Amino acid sequence: MTTSAASELIVTPPGLAGVVVAETAIGDVRGAEGFFHYRQYDATRLARDHSFEDVWHLMLRGELPTEAQRGPWEADVAEALVIPEGLAEQLGVVMRAAGSDDPLVTLRTALSAYGALTGDRPLWDSDEDIKQRAALRTAAVVPWLVTAAHALASGREPVAPRPELGYVASYLAMLTGRTPSAEHIAALSRYLVLTIDHGFNNSTFTARTVASTGTDLSSCLVAGVGALAGPLHGGAPSRALDALDEIGSVERAEGWARAQLAAGQRVMGFGHPVYRTLDPRSELLKETAIELGGPTADLAVAAEAEVVKVLDEAKPDRPLRANVEYYAGVVMQACGVPREMFTPTFACSRVVGWAAHVLEQSRDRKIIRPRSRYVGPLPE
């Protein structure tokens, strides 16, 4: 980081890489160690041992629920999952008007409409109780919005939430139209918990930047969805699975990887801007994919080893390992999530993390306003 004497501006690295822009008590990523945590807890252990609702409580309320707190909290979540009939009808009109076959595009429009229809108030003018209730309610509506959008794009009527099943099972039931197995609920729960938060990633930083203006919660979350839609962020799981389709068999994996590098193409599913060792999310999802079984999981494991050999040879100074997207698609597909719903499913978990960050940012009461360094023609 250098300082320009002429402009007295601090010039940061491209992409703000390594630059600390805020303080947070929500979580952190230790890239050199291959470790990340939510609050004071190892995130991968939370994914193994706790429900999505437990971790939601941790993100929003700052602690895992006690036995006494768990029942009332799960009741609050179940109540939030229910979409009032009149509101569902209004949102259905909005989603049909959006006219998109991409559930994430429709989500942006529907989430914005949801905020307006429910009277979402500016964070600047809201007390903590109002913010907490808005965060719970708005995050809870996202699974229905994305599954309803998917159903409408497919010419089907949306399926109502089943809050008695719990957050993850209700989502799968709305998406597939059937009651999911315990195996699929547990597997998808792991994925959703692992992706609730991950440091100051692009979409989280975007949501916090908007939150710093004091605007309403829905506007902040819509901004997060817009960032998540990019192929370098939430759009990667489907592309990693597309790569496995191209590979087809383990015998083709080495040649495919070499061809990607020769063409200057990014090897989707490998490497991460923060991790310089194994991605702990990928390791747990790999284990989950193996437990679920199937030819795609078998191919993914075998192809990973071959691709890593090629990457180590080509980039010996920078280890590139499978990231969360590589096995995310394998796990979601095995659970019945169609490929076009991978990123919307990601949004169903990450919206909980965004909401927690938005509330934290709203307590700062200072707008985020960086500067740019002008490099164009000098004014006359």
Taking the domains of the chain in order of start, what are their residue ranges? 52-233+339-362
Is-contact 133 145, C-beta < 8 A? no
Are the C-beta atoms of 189 and 168 separated by less than 8 Å? yes
Residue of 74, 304, 306, 325 with catalytic role? 325
**Closest C-alpha among 109, 22, 43 to residue 349:** 43
User: Which among 161, 166, 210 is positioned nearest to 367, based on CA atoms?
Assistant: 210
- Among candidate residues 252, 166, 192, 200, the one with its CA nearest the CA of residue 368: 200
Residues 267 and 264: their CA atoms lie apart, in Å, by 9
Is 157 catalytic? The answer is no
User: pLDDT value at position 7?
Assistant: 53
272 is annotated as an active-site residue: yes
Question: What is the residue-level pLDDT of the chain in tens, covering all 380 positions?
Answer: 444 444 567 777 787 877 788 899 999 999 889 899 999 999 999 999 999 999 999 999 999 999 999 999 999 999 999 999 999 999 999 999 988 888 989 999 999 999 999 999 999 999 999 999 999 999 999 999 999 999 999 999 999 999 999 999 999 999 999 999 999 999 999 999 999 999 999 999 999 999 999 999 999 999 999 999 887 777 666 888 899 999 999 999 999 999 999 998 888 888 887 877 888 999 999 999 999 999 999 999 999 999 999 999 988 888 888 888 899 999 999 999 999 999 999 999 999 999 999 999 999 989 999 888 888 999 98
Place domain 52-233+339-362 in its CATH homologous superfamily: Citrate Synthase, domain 1 (1.10.580.10)
Which entry of 272, 304, 306, 357 is annotated as an active-site residue? 272
HSE of 141 in the Cβ direction (CA atoms, 13 Å)?
25
* Six-digit token string for 36: 């990340």
pLDDT of residue 237: 67
Model confidence, pTM: 0.92
Q: Residue 83, by phi and psi: left (phi above 0), alpha (psi -120 to 50) or beta? A: beta
Question: Which tokens sit at 150?
Answer: 């998917």
What does the alpha-carbon distance between residue 168 and residue 114 come to, in Å, rounded to a whole number?
A: 22
What is the enclosing helix (H) or strand (E) of 27? strand 27-30
38: which strand partners?
27, 41
Can you read off the two tokens belonging to residue 86? 């009149």
- Spatial neighbors of 115 by CB under 8 A, at least 6 apart, are 138, 216, 217, 218, 219, 222
List 3's β-bridge partners, or say none: 10
Q: Are 134 and 74 in contact (CB under 8 A)?
A: no
d(CA 192, CA 330): 14
